[in-house]
Amino acid sequence: MFIKNIFNVKNYKGLEDGFKVEFDEITYIVGDNAKNKTTIGSLPLWILTGYNIYGSNKEQVANDSIITGQNTIASMTIIDNQGSEHVITRCKGKDNFVMLDGIRTTQEILTRFYKDVHAFICSYYPNYFRSMDLAKQRELLLRILPAVSSEDAFKLLEKEEQEILEHPIADIKGFCKSKRAEIKEITSELDKLAGSKNMLINIAIQKEDNLKKFEKQSELDNLEKEYEKLIENTDNIVTLEEIEKDINRLDSKISNNIKIELQELQKRQKKELENLDNVTSVTSTCPTCKQEIKNENLIKALKITYKKNINTIAEKIESLKKETQELIDRKKKQIEKYRVLKTPQMQEKAKMRDEIKTKIDILQKEKSEIDLFNKEVELKHNEIVNAKKKIEEFDNLSKEMTETIDRYNNQLKIATRLNLLIIQEQMKKVNRYLKNVTIEFSSVNEETGEIMDVYEVKYKGRKYEKLSKSYKLRADIEIATLINKVTGINTPMFIDDVESITEIDTTNNIQTIMAIVIKFNDLEVLYDYSDVLTRERDSIIKKIEESSNLLQNAA
């Protein structure tokens, strides 16, 4: 890119409205302090990008000496890297727009001239690189370095490292992030596994009880056989008290059937017979109102009803008599059973039977308790066996997970080393643009031989932060040239405070704009260095005269 001129400047900082300036391969902006040299040098950057030389696009650019709401406007003619000429105009204020060749456009369209804005600012204004913090410097340099394919990068590793890494990595940063996430997840699972294992260990170390044996099985069998013989031909094993209760219950039921239910049925039967007689006689009368019934159909219906009722009651009486007789017979049997059981022989037999039953119950309870104990012992044993099996499985799984974590950590180390090797390879391709500056992104640990991730800029072997202002500017110019050439932006370079350095390399085919402080000189734009020297000579003469006058006045 080549800047031809700036024109149509209006309301921009301290510049007069209508200000215009032509630029050559090397342009010198000279003048005393506060003469707007830096303002002129920063103007092309603002027109093209909207940013100032300090990396901000929020700066107030309107002339603060004029109280007005008017727009700030400036235009610039450039020749792009393809040799085409363009006019760019920027307006900021009440109206905000950019124009390319007379047509309104967007900032996104203009980026084709400069690509990465911060790389462009560093290339255009070398001092900007110095103002960035180290992390941003490093990130910018890594961003503009020429790419190395993942396959070529993979070949930079030792064969053993290639086997561990397994395959080329297209995105080392993403790969490392993914591996760290997996390590974190596996580590978390390992912690959970350890907690579960501790619980299983508490189960596995439990003391096991021995199984108990029921030693009285033959005794129980004999008692059960003896008991079976005693209750042979016996429907139910009952006590005298139970028989007494049953006899009393039967007696109560028989008495109720005969004295209450049977008498009630007989009374109802007698009433129904009387009703039937009333409607069957020569003069039929109503059982309820006692009036004569003359309706033959009604008489017939009443006869049928009363006969039916009489038959139903008769059936119930017969059923009740049959039931009562059965109860009487059952009572007799219970009385006979009671009499038999009441005999000394049966009493002795019952006593023997009850004693045997008690012994059987005691032995069966003892056996049940032993069976329950053995069941618990068996369950506990199975629990311990399963816990030990699970512990073994957890140990194997933990071993696999630990090996996986170790493998991932090794891959992370190799990926980190690969990243540094790639940067070294990238730097080999761009070092031809550096003369006195060295940029280091890695260093070797003298004790372990491990490559470590660092960032350090040196000029002639001295650390950047320890350089004088003059040397820092020289280093900045080299770095700006590097960024300019590697990115292919080919931007002009604006060098401020040129008087602080003794020489500038102008053999790199970069259009250069230099701001030089010359005391007593008004703002001028020059294109021949001999004219600059003339202005400096005149300035020195005036300084000498001024010093002489001061000395004479002092004398």
- C-alpha span between 32 and 499 (Å, rounded): 12
Mean pLDDT of 135-142: 91
Question: Where residue 285 falls among pLDDT bands split at 50, 70, 90?
Answer: low
Q: Is the pLDDT of residue 387 over 60?
A: yes
On whether the CB atoms of residues 455 and 137 are closer than 8 A, the answer is yes
Dihedral of alpha carbons 211, 213, 214, 217, sign: positive
SS3 461: coil
Q: What is the pLDDT of residue 501?
A: 82
pLDDT tens digits for range 199-226: 999 999 999 999 999 999 999 999 999 8
- Tell which wins on pLDDT, 501 or 184: 184
Nearest 10 degrees: Cα torsion 493, 495, 501, 504:
20
Q: Is the pLDDT of residue 15 over 90?
A: yes
Cβ neighbours, 10 Å, residue 482 = 24
- C-alpha span between 287 and 275 (Å, rounded): 6
Cβ neighbours, 10 Å, residue 50 = 19
Question: Where residue 40 falls among pLDDT bands split at 50, 70, 90?
Answer: very high
Q: What is the pLDDT of residue 244?
A: 83
Q: What is the pLDDT of residue 251?
A: 87
Name the residue among 175, 147, 177, 421 with its Cα closest to residue 167. 175
Q: DSSP letter at 521? A: P
Q: Which of 26-40, 65-79, 224-238 has the highest mean pLDDT?
A: 26-40
Q: Is the pLDDT of residue 158 over 90?
A: yes
Q: Is the pLDDT of residue 416 over 90?
A: no
Q: Tokens in use for 265?
A: 């049925």
Report the percentage of the chain scoring pLDDT > 70. 94
- Tell which wins on pLDDT, 10 or 278: 10
Phi, psi of 114, deg, nearest 5: -135, -5
pLDDT tens digits for range 335-372: 887 787 777 777 777 788 889 989 999 999 999 999 99
pLDDT tens digits for range 448-485: 666 677 889 999 999 988 999 889 999 999 999 999 99
- C-alpha span between 31 and 15 (Å, rounded): 14
Mean pLDDT of 162-188: 93
Q: Is the pLDDT of residue 284 over 70?
A: no
Residue type, 540: I
Name the residue among 107, 116, 71 with its Cα closest to residue 88. 107
Q: Of the ranges 274-283, 308-317, 466-475, which one carries the lowest mean pLDDT score?
A: 274-283
Name the residue among 162, 203, 542, 208 with its Cα closest to residue 387. 203
Residue type, 324: T
SS3 525: strand
- C-alpha span between 284 and 291 (Å, rounded): 8
Q: Is the pLDDT of residue 102 over 90?
A: yes
SS3 213: coil
**Predicted structure pTM score:** 0.62
Angstrom CA distances, 497 to 61, 150, 369, stand at 22, 43, 103
Q: What is the pLDDT of residue 90?
A: 97
On whether the CB atoms of residues 292 and 284 are closer than 8 A, the answer is yes
Residue type, 307: K
- Tell which wins on pLDDT, 548 or 200: 200
| Contacts of 451 by beta carbon, 8 Å cutoff, 6+ apart | 417, 420, 421, 442, 443, 444, 445
Average of per-residue pLDDT values in the chain:
89
Question: What are the structural domains, with CATH classification, of the chain?
Answer: 2-114+491-554 (3.40.50.300)
On whether the CB atoms of residues 36 and 42 are closer than 8 A, the answer is no
Pairing mode of beta strands 451-459, 462-463: antiparallel
Q: Of the ranges 63-67, 189-193, 264-268, 480-484, which one carries the lowest mean pLDDT score?
A: 63-67
Q: What is the pLDDT of residue 18?
A: 93
Q: Is the pLDDT of residue 432 over 70?
A: yes
Pairing mode of beta strands 19-22, 2-10: antiparallel
- Angle (CA) 118-123-126 rounded to 5° is 100
DSSP structure string for 59-102: ---B-TTS---PPEEEEEEEE-TTS-EEEEEEEESSS-EEEETT
Report the percentage of the chain scoring pLDDT > 90. 59
- Tell which wins on pLDDT, 11 or 546: 11
Q: What is the pLDDT of residue 234?
A: 57
Q: What is the pLDDT of residue 291?
A: 67
Mean pLDDT of 113-138: 93
On whether the CB atoms of residues 126 and 512 are closer than 8 A, the answer is no
